[in-house]
């Protein structure tokens, strides 16, 4: 499969690649950058390998079970030889996907990388027969705008497959019906 790419305003190429275990250190570099933005320092170096007994960052340590199963997936965006963002698709069964772990490094935001990551996830899930993608996001801010631009709409109530995911009082749920999305964009699913 050809991986999506785009050029930054600087002319540098951004490429989205499906996660491989060779990217394990890059994944953690992004996670540490995200935590540092929140004022949290957890470690100086990434774990050498997944720790299935770790009580922290459980989904990262179990990427193969959480994201790489079924119609799910995990992608990293690369620019200028470094990881700059990531996004995950968790297959909940019944044609439902949960978009998780969307992150772009601060210095690379508002350059189309988030859109490229989410469009990659949408195309991947649609090609594997998923019916809908849902996510949580802040009620105001760039995430909600980005997802809205890509066809996600606020969901009053979660789809039936999402009942297992506890609600978050500080966020809103958004949903993209992939059948409707393909009709609006002319894309084939």
What residues does each domain of the chain span?
Answer: 5-185
Q: Say if residues 174 and 134 touch (Cβ distance below 8 Å).
A: yes
Return all residues near 166 (Cβ < 8 A) that are at least 6 apart.
Answer: none
- Which segments of 2-112 does DSSP mark as H helices, in order? 24-37, 58-61, 63-66
- Give the pLDDT score at 51: 77
- Give the pLDDT score at 183: 44
CATH code matching the domain that covers 5-185, chosen among 3.90.1150.150, 3.40.630.30, 1.10.3720.10, 3.30.830.10: 3.40.630.30
Q: For residues 171 and 120, what is the distance between their CA atoms, to the nearest angstrom?
A: 24
Q: Which residues of 91-126 are buried (b: 16+ CB within 10 A; e: fewer)?
A: bbeebbbbbbbbbbbeebeebbbbebbbbbbbebbb
Q: Say if residues 137 and 171 touch (Cβ distance below 8 Å).
A: yes
- Give the pLDDT score at 138: 87
pTM as predicted: 0.84
Listed as ranges, residues in the chain with pLDDT below 50 are: 1-2, 182-189
- Give the pLDDT score at 188: 39
- Give the pLDDT score at 120: 97
178-185 helix and 113-127 helix, angle to the nearest 10 degrees: 110
Q: Which two tokens stand for residue 136?
A: 């949580």
- Give the pLDDT score at 189: 36
- Give the pLDDT score at 46: 72
Sign of the torsion angle spanned by Cα atoms 161, 134, 117, 124: positive
């Amino acid at each position: 499969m050809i991986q999506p790419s785009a050029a930054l305003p600087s002319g540098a190429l951004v490429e989205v690649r499906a996660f491989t275990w060779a990217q394990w250190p890059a994944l953690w570099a992004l996670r540490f950058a995200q935590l540092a933005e929140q004022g949290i320092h957890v470690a100086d170096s990434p774990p050498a390998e997944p720790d299935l007994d770790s009580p922290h960052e459980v989904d990262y340590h179990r990427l193969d079970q959480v994201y790489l199963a079924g119609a799910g997936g995990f992608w990293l965006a690369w620019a200028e030889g470094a990881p700059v963002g990531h996004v995950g698709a968790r297959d909940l069964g019944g044609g439902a996907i949960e978009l998780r772990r969307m992150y772009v490094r601060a210095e690379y935001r508002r350059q189309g990388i988030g859109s490229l990551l989410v469009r990659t996830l949408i195309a991947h899930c649609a090609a594997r027969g998923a019916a809908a993608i849902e996510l949580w996001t802040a009620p105001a801010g760039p995430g909600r705008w980005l997802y809205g631009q890509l066809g996600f709409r606020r969901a009053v109530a979660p789809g039936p497959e999402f009942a297992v995911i506890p609600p978050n009082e500080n966020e809103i749920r958004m949903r993209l019906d992939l059948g409707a999305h393909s009709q609006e964009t002319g894309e084939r699913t």
